[in-house]
Amino acid sequence: MSILTKFTGKNTNQYRRSAFWSYGVVIAGFILVSAMNSAGMISNSLQGQLVPICAYIAMAVSLNLVVGISGELSLGHAGFMSVGAFTGVIAATLFQSLPFLWVKLLIAIVVGGLFAGLAGVIIGVPVLRLRGDYLAIVTLAFGEIIRNVLNVIYVGLDEKGLQVATSMEGIHLSENGSMILNGPMGATGITKLSTFFAGFLLVLFTLFVVLNLVNSKHGRAIMAMRDNRIAAESVGLSATNFKMTAFVTGAILAGMSGALFALNYSTVAPVKFNFNTSILVLVFVVLGGIGNITGSIISAAVLTILPEALRQFSDYRMLTYAIVLILVMLATNNPQMKMFLSGLSKQVKAVFSKTKVYHRPQRAEEKGGAE
């Protein structure tokens, strides 16, 4: 059984309750930022971060589905992001003559999601049949392989169609043609299609998919598999099927956020989606709380803005970043802090819904995970 199991201390009731918070945080955040933006209170550099923040939130939430809900460690989430990014850019270029921006963006995001999902199936089918933490190793390799493959892929487009080769010389375009992918330089000459509103919608979509999955019968089976694989098999669940569902759904959502991310820039290089990015997203998940969707949203947003906000500290920027990470870990693990936060959330919830909050016995945390 995965080492992650003992850190995921949530039962199904709690997921149902936290859905309220997840949507609330995202919608409130969007309204707030939009209002500040129209009041001219958001700096240029932060404006440029808005779409990446949305993409990273979607990345963190989808990785949390894999790591937190299904309990499998994935170290190559950025690999799926990059599959989605580059297939999305190709799709957007192929359909560039279509009239509406949002139609092209939608096509790019769907295509990016499909290809990333396909990559997820190819990895998941052999690996998820094994017991143990093999997924971590294989996804780690996948992230590196996909980046190296993209480094030698050249794609051009002219009126005769797409041309794909492993070097610049292999591509012979007519005068009207243009390059889409340039090996290590990545995608160049992208028409920017992504908007903050589109990012907001993608985050909502991601939440909708993940939270509905978590609260379904299927989701309960996924968590049962994480909590106790032998017990889950003994009640007739197929380990492979349920882990696949979570993993491939996570890959599709990562691909979609990859397409959104790439179409926010004029150029995107494969190196943007390297191991560091996978780890960065994992840090969002761990810091926000494994299995805690709202936590992922907040930590992805804050930790994407933070390095920018710390720019004034110049040389000490990364040092400050590390200190902030440590402080957050200490604060969120502090029992008093936990009690304060849960008391706060209960009070706020009581205002919104008059239903009685069910109190979970405290001992569950200590006993959970010990078998």
Partner 1 sequence: MGTILNVENINVYYGAIHAIRDVSFQVNEGEIVTLIGANGAGKSTTLQTVSGILHSKTGSVEFCGENIAKVPAHKIVEKGLAHVPEGRRIFQQMSVRENLEMGAFTADASTIPSNLEMVFHQFPRLKEREKQVAGTLSGGEQQMLAMGRALMSNPKLLMLDEPSMGLAPILVEQIFDIIKSLNEAGTTILLVEQNAQMALSVAHHAYVLETGRVTLSGTGDELAASEQVKKAYLGS
Binding site for partner 1 (CB under 8 A): 8-13, 217, 220-221, 223-224, 227-228, 230-238, 241, 358, 360-361, 363-364, 367-371
Round to whole Å and give the CA distance between 120 and 123.
5
Q: What minimum distance in Å lies between the beta carbon of 356 and partner 1? A: 12
Closer to partner 1 by Cβ: residue 5 or 37: 5
Q: What minimum distance in Å lies between the beta carbon of 281 and partner 1? A: 25
Round to whole Å and give the CA distance between 215 and 251.
19
Closer to partner 1 by Cβ: residue 9 or 177: 9
Q: What minimum distance in Å lies between the beta carbon of 223 and partner 1? A: 7
Max intra-chain CA distance, the chain: 71
Q: Which amino acid is at 193?
A: L
Query: Which residues neighbour 69 within 8 Å (Cβ) at sequence distance 6 or greater?
Result: 8, 210, 213, 214, 219, 222, 223, 226, 246, 291
Q: What minimum distance in Å lies between the beta carbon of 232 and partner 1? A: 8
CA distances in angstroms from 251 to 21, 41, 257, 340, listed in the order given: 24, 35, 10, 35
Closer to partner 1 by Cβ: residue 311 or 356: 356
Query: Which residues neighbour 143 within 8 Å (Cβ) at sequence distance 6 or greater?
Result: 75, 76, 77, 78, 79, 273, 274, 275, 278
Closer to partner 1 by Cβ: residue 40 or 236: 236
Q: What minimum distance in Å lies between the beta carbon of 266 and partner 1? A: 47
Q: SS3 of 157, please?
A: strand
Strand partners, 181: 155, 187
Closer to partner 1 by Cβ: residue 343 or 369: 369
Closer to partner 1 by Cβ: residue 158 or 227: 227
Q: What minimum distance in Å lies between the beta carbon of 86 and partner 1? A: 37
Q: What minimum distance in Å lies between the beta carbon of 289 and partner 1? A: 14
Closer to partner 1 by Cβ: residue 161 or 236: 236
Alpha helices in the chain, H assignment, sequence order: 12-38, 44-64, 77-94, 101-127, 134-151, 196-214, 217-227, 229-234, 239-262, 275-288, 293-309, 317-333, 335-352, 363-367
